[in-house]
Structure 1
Amino acid sequence: MNSKVTPNELLSQVNQFWSMLDDMAENSPDSYQKFIQRHMKEGKDFMEPPEPFLCVQTKILYPEERMLFINICGWKKVPAPQSDLHPMPLIAGKLEDTSEGTVFDIAYSTEVLKRAESDRVEQDQLIRLAMKYIEQQHKVTLCHSYHIAPIRQKGNLHTLRKNLQGKQEKPTKIKAKSEKAPDRSLLEQIKNISMKEEEKEEVSPHIEILEESNLKPSKASLIEVISSTELAEEDLIPTPHHELSVINNLSGTPQKIILRAALHGVRSVSDCELSVSKDDLMVEVPGKYRLHLDLPVLVNEDSATATYNKVNGTLTVTVSVAENQGV
């Protein structure tokens, strides 16, 4: 029933697409300008990074009790739900263990979060929806009591954006076609745009490219996952046992940070990839270990040194604490 598009057919459609744009530019310059401006704006919005909204603090109770921070973000890439009866679209990261607990990033539509800003009930619903998603997707049990942290996000902004944006596939609508969204090809939609103004509404229609392979029967659900970080090979790499220590000087001021990580099977320090910023640290042994930590104090990343003890299989990383902790 569903036929796959061959490369030649796809190339033919692309050529027709550009031909129709050329015809539109020549015969209906106003429609052409509106079409280009609309999709340039949509493309710009699509490329904007997620923005932190609030940070929720709660606990994971099972399988192991630990602190959980949920970073709730707004992202223009995430569409608003079609109605109150439709599932809530979202993009989510993965559970990321740090020295202070576990961090989870989730993004909703910016329109949804604007309403939640002035509506505490809706804000609570979004928080509980995120908690429900975590429990379902990661097979954990959460404490359903929570409080809003005084910070907008846990961890640094670069890591948050990487978790939500770094390994994203293109957004996919995981739902069946409805009568309100007929199955129109891209070419048919372009043809509609190039119609005469008196035969159309003033507003240029939005183009949807629906992939038949991703269309599934609709189910009653509160959540519509637009796209989530893939379970790539690095997600399956274990986190090594480790110990992070802050060494103070005689006056009690933090002087340096020492990380000791058990990397059994590593031959030398050259097998390890070390990345240090002012507030986080990552150690990777490709295919064997991956450790990412948010640091408790700011450090001087240029001062990092690493040694490896072959006898006990321990990597030791030493970093000096930055003098100005306010930056």
Structure 2
Amino acid sequence: MVSFTSINWPNRILVTGGAGFIGSALVRQLIAETDSTVINVDALTYAGNPESLAEARHHPRHVFEQEDIRNRPALDRLFREHRPDAVMHLAAESHVDRSIEGPAAFIETNVTGTQNLLEAAREYWQALEPAARERFRFHHISTDEVYGDLGPNDPAFTEETPYAPSSPYSASKAGSDHLVRAWHHTYGLPVLLTNCSNNYGPYQFPEKLIPLMILNALEGKPLPVYGQGDNVRDWLHVEDHAQALRRVLEAGRPGRTYNIGGRAERTNLEVVHAICAHLDELRPRPSGRHEALIQFVTDRPGHDRRYAIDDSRISQELDWQPQESFESGLRRTVEWYLENTEWVQRVQSGAYREWLETNYGHRGVAE
């Protein structure tokens, strides 16, 4: 494998959404393990948290810009002032349940925001000197949810699987993927696309399944599981994902898509039971086992049954594979939330608690 200090590795990387869950993991790695300067662009909405950047936050090679990708003049300024060699685009509204409650924000950020970024990048790229134009990359980070869902025995998603998004969130990400490909085919912009499976790990905002279950269990609250908990997801540790993103930026072929998975399909109920087992060992309940808190609630609309990733392309072409098993990664994640209660308390704002009530309060116990 080529090292991350290869001659083609960019000196200056503009990362959008770099204070979010996946973005902050990427920024932490870029600062700790490369010599690149990172221009971190984030609007700091509810899910963006500078504290998630840890030691990278105040590093001299980390430059933070609080800007919204929906603001085209701001993007033009960022390219003009910082002169990046590459863009890694992670800024997005990303929660399915929120997209059901309010889809407009997902279209504005994920579609219009991506179009703004593509146009700003294209104008900047076209004005570069030939050698710099050749090196420039626009890496768009997306989701496996654009492919729709699978039956129990269907083969896993490949990069050629037709798009069939089911939620406003996945439809908006599918739209952004199509825009990125169009800017490559129409204008020649050297793009890279990646579609990943469900991420988990430290610093994840507590509306997502794994941190929500950990934190509810610690507070003795019900653990709300949609339907019968038989929906299947492939789980990818966020640090493995960040490594894969770096590998694609370094050696991926422009115009090509790479699926990134964790090789860890589990039903939601299996995930919740595994979390409970870890907590039973690490933080026992005086009144019994944590699994007693599981409560099945009415399923959400259009809930995809199964996602699965075939990662043969990135494995064979770029020699990448996940290093973390689900068992080891989940254990580390549970331990992190137990050890970082101050971070958790600061992100659990009043607005977040209001959203929990909006999403789960009306569902009730499933019959």
- Output the TM-score relative to the length of structure 2: 0.22
Give 1 or 2 for the bigger CA radius of gyration.
Answer: 1
- Output the TM-score relative to the length of structure 1: 0.24
Structure with more of its chain in strand, by fraction: 1
